[in-house]
Amino acid sequence: MADRSRGPAFALFVSVLMVVTGSLNTICAKWADSLKPPGESVKFNHPFLQATCMFFGEFLCLVVFFLIYAFQRYQWNRTNITGEHGAITDLSEEPTLPQFNPLVFLPPACCDIIATSLMYIGLNLTTASSFQMLRGAVIIFTGLLSVGMLRYRFQPFKWFGMLFVTLGLVVVGVTDIVYDDSTTDDTNGIITGNLLIIMAQIIVAIQMVYEQKYLQQYDVPALFAVGLEGLFGMTILGALMFPMYFIHVPNTFSTNPEGRLEDVIFAMKEIGECPLIAVALGGTIVSIAFFNFAGVSVTKELSATTRMVLDSVRTLIIWIVSIPFFDEKFIPVQILGFALLLLGMFVYNDIFFGPFTRRHIIPRMGEDNPLTTCCFNFCGADTTEIDRQQLIDEDEA
């Protein structure tokens, strides 16, 4: 299936779509957690059901993939089959399905199940803004696992990026605890939720490293890969609902009757009494499907670094929306945490700071300047004297 760039208008559209649907995904999940059916004493608390809804949204990407494939196949047949006997005149660019074993996507799907479930449990215990910010920890664990498992050698700026992200996470986590004026049980819940979200990022990092190590050899469209992982996740987690009904856990992890780990029957009862919960879950399904489509399109039309920048914008939007809608307390110190996270993501992904240094600072340094070598090593520059002079000439022009 051929991929073609569709121009700046489409790139702008998918960029906006990614930010909007990505923000809606977290907001809808937190909205569902904040709803309480009439006559009930507890709010909706079904993280595993919500995770299943998310996987169903990813599965819709597989449906879309096959619809696109069927349409491309139809177009190809109309273009290339001619004559009275339907002779094929051109076999070039014939749409075909990827040839590989679909089970290679089972391990990352299992990682996704564990990570998503942990994150939805954490989201029940902490705020939506902290949830989104703490997800930035994935950069740290992905970097460390890449060094340990893939034998990558990171340039110094990536380590500095990871350091800034770590400092940002510390600020966000500590301010959640220090500025919390609720009961001790609520504070313990916030700490537990934040830790679960960070633990989930370790699982996500394992998933990413696995996909990078084992799946790059397969020429699989990203939409197809996302859909397969959604299919596996939806099927496995759906099957696990039955044993979860008979597992009892403390109130911190479940407010369902008799403390069941997941009670789908009670969830259906709550949805029947409060239809807005169904709207919130539907928003989760639709938003994750469009978010995955938009994310894949942004990577293809623009770049992976642009996707990271847009993801940072999504974090800011969730933070702003959560304060009035979910009664989150505005903590000015968290601005510092967000700024450190954003700075870390920019440095790690070599956005703005590295290119600016290589383009405007290094070219103006003399060959014998000891800082030149330092900047070369730190910024990962590979600029010769001719390149430096060329950049100076371009800048002056």
311-323 pLDDT, tens digit per residue, is 778 888 888 888 8
36-46 pLDDT, tens digit per residue, is 988 888 889 99
Instruction: Answer whether 202's CB lies under 8 Å from 139's CB.
Output: no
For the segment 190-199, the average pLDDT, to the nearest whole number, is 90
Distances (CA, A) of 165 to 160, 168, 172, 269, 380: 9, 5, 11, 42, 20
3-state secondary structure of 82: strand
Closest to 189 (Cα-Cα) out of 259, 255, 125: 125
Q: In the prediction, which pLDDT does 373 show?
A: 58
Inter-axis angle of helices 8-34 and 304-325, nearest 10 = 40
DSSP 232-256: HHHHHHHHHHHHHHT-B--TTT--S
**Is residue 121 over pLDDT 60?**
yes
Q: Tell how strand 87-88 and strand 81-82 pair up.
A: antiparallel
Q: In the prediction, which pLDDT does 388 show?
A: 46
5-15 pLDDT, tens digit per residue, is 567 788 888 88
The set of residues, in sequence order, having a beta carbon less than 8 Å from that of 234 and lying 6+ positions away, is 52, 55, 56, 58, 59
Q: In the prediction, which pLDDT does 31 show?
A: 94
3-state secondary structure of 87: strand
Q: For the chain, what's the residue count?
A: 397
Percent above pLDDT 90 for the chain: 30
Q: 333 versus 186: which is more confidently predicted?
A: 333
**Is residue 84 over pLDDT 50?**
no
Q: In the prediction, which pLDDT does 311 show?
A: 76
Instruction: Answer whether 136's CB lies under 8 Å from 45's CB.
Output: no
Please name the residue that has the structure tokens 């907001």. Answer: 27
Whole-angstrom distance between the N-terminal and C-terminal Cα of the chain?
43
Q: 301 versus 199: which is more confidently predicted?
A: 199
DSSP 94-143: ------S-GGGGHHHHHHHHHHHHHHHHHHHHS-HHHHHHHGGGHHHHHH
Q: Which of 64-73, 83-92, 168-177, 234-243 has the lowest mean pLDDT?
A: 83-92
Q: In the prediction, which pLDDT does 125 show?
A: 87
For the segment 358-387, the average pLDDT, to the nearest whole number, is 57
**Is residue 395 over pLDDT 80?**
no
Residue 20: left (phi > 0), alpha (psi -120 to 50), or beta?
alpha
- Cα separation, 159 vs 362, in Å, equals 20
For the segment 271-292, the average pLDDT, to the nearest whole number, is 94
Instruction: Answer whether 363's CB lies under 8 Å from 379's CB.
Output: no
For the segment 328-342, the average pLDDT, to the nearest whole number, is 83
Q: Which of 56-60, 104-108, 148-152, 207-211 has the lowest mean pLDDT?
A: 148-152
- Cα separation, 357 vs 316, in Å, equals 26
Q: In the prediction, which pLDDT does 389 show?
A: 47
Residue type, 68: I
Instruction: Answer whether 133's CB lies under 8 Å from 341's CB.
Output: yes
Confidence of residue 358 (pLDDT cuts 50, 70, 90): low
**Is residue 238 over pLDDT 80?**
yes
- Cα separation, 234 vs 321, in Å, equals 29
Please name the residue that has the structure tokens 């299936």. Answer: 1
Inter-axis angle of helices 156-178 and 184-214, nearest 10 = 160
3-state secondary structure of 76: helix
- Cα separation, 224 vs 60, in Å, equals 10
Which residues partner with 87 through β-bridges?
82
Q: In the prediction, which pLDDT does 380 show?
A: 56
Closest to 116 (Cα-Cα) out of 30, 39, 52, 212: 52
For the segment 133-154, the average pLDDT, to the nearest whole number, is 79
